[in-house]
Structure 1
Amino acid sequence: MENIEIRKVVPNEIDQLQKIGIQTFLEAFSSENSEENMNSYLEKSFSTQKLKTELKDKNSEFYFALENKTVVGYLKINLGQSQTEIKEENAIEIERIYVLKEFYGKKIGQLLFEKAMEISRQKKVDYIWLGVWEENLRAIHFYQKNGFVVFDKHIFKLGDDIQTDLMMKLLLKE
């Protein structure tokens, strides 16, 4: 744990971002989804062009978790109009927290989450929200443990498969 560094991703690290994004998504979801749907989603969501655009967006931020200078996980947050749905100025969306499977249980996801919390406090937002696949019980439990509650559902398309995400939020101000 003590040798985990969390730092902002810079534009010239796009290859590392693409690699960790694809690898962690495959590890998390390939066993429950078809190869065609996984490939379709990965090509769209982790294309070099899409990542370049996201890295340039002042309302989206990526952070790497590094162990001994090796990327083992990452966080993506969105503010304002870059949020995928709610788009409120007083909220931050955690779009992604992913960690390599071999590092599960080492509290790296928690460190990335705490980074999102730190940013949320700096920006003085009222709440943090996210969408999580209803079948991803490990992630749902993680967010519930951190105080998130389900407030809605939305549709998530993985290739041609229609899936349901639970929308969860954590109020930071009453």
Structure 2
Amino acid sequence: MTIRQATLSDLDTLVSVARQSLYAAFSPEKYPGNPIQQYLDEAVTVPVYAQEFTNKRATFWLAEDDDGQAIGFLKLHAHAPPRRMPIRNALEIVRIYLLDEYVGRGYGRRLMQHCLDYAHNQGHAAVWLGVWEHNAPALVFYEKMGFVRLGWHVFWFAGERQRDFWLWKAL
């Protein structure tokens, strides 16, 4: 797997990977009543992601397999962390997406290590992220990667109020 910084020319690929990975992770079969399709149609579109690319504090990274096919991506964002965070010089891991067929094969760990290395190399002392309280596989993964719970916040998902846990890790 290679990880490279994404550009605007990768926009369609990023949106496709995001839509596929999110649907697989949060499908109605796994979470009955979860409005995943509405969320995808509202928040995971080329225009929305194109707007996100204009933020100078955000970086996108594309993960590709050995054949150059996109298998996942990351979005990192340098801005103020949650108030309770003990280390203020931190980088947010906004998105860490991996296509379903690559989950559980070590690729997620490699994507996360890229985040940690990048944050450290940029001079950050910690990273943080938000994860849905019912996303048990992600919570287990983040715990294995050394993240600890900091608190929670409201995340609006297709007009539905959901709770995300804040997790953080010192570097």
Structures share a fold, TM > 0.5? yes
Aligned counterparts of 1:91 and 1:45: Cα–Cα separation in 2 = 25
Aligned to 1:59: 57
Show structure 1 runs of 5+ residues with no match: none
The answer (yes or no) to whether the contact 1:152–1:166 under 8 Å persists in 2 is: yes
Of 12, 15, 21, 2:12 maps to: 15
The Cα RMSD (Å) is 2.0
**What residue ranges of structure 2 are gaps of 5+ in the alignment?**
none
Q: Offset of 1:39 from its aligned partner? A: 2.3
Count of aligned residue pairs for this structure pair: 166
TM-score by length of 2: 0.89
Question: AA paired with 1:54?
Answer: E
Deviates more, 1:37-46 or 1:71-80: 37-46
Instruction: Give the aligned partner of residue 46 of structure 1.
Output: 44
| 1:106 aligned onto 2:105 | yes
1:72 corresponds to 2:55: no
Which residue of the partner structure matches residue 117 of structure 1?
116
Do the aligned residues in 2 keep the contact of 1:65 with 1:108 (CA within 8 Å)? no
Show CA shifts across 1:56-107 (max 9, x none): 32211111111111111111111126x7x66x97111111111111111211
Structure 1 segments (4+ residues) deviating >6 Å: none
- C-alpha change, 1:11 and 1:89, in structure 2 (3 Å) is farther
SS of the counterpart of 2:64? strand
Report the AA paired with residue 8 of structure 2: P
SS, match of residue 141 in structure 2:
helix
Distance (whole Å) between structure 1 residues aligned to residue 8 and residue 128 of structure 2: 26
Q: In structure 1, what is the equivalent of residue 139 of structure 2?
A: 140
Q: Which moved more, 1:10-19 or 1:160-169?
A: 160-169
Percent of pairs with identical residues: 29
Letter in 1 for 2:55: D
Output the TM-score relative to the length of structure 1: 0.87
User: In structure 2, how many angstroms separate the alpha carbons of the residues matched to 1:61 and 1:98?
Assistant: 14
- Following TM superposition, by how much is the alpha carbon of 1:33 offset from its aligned partner in structure 2, in angstroms? 4.7
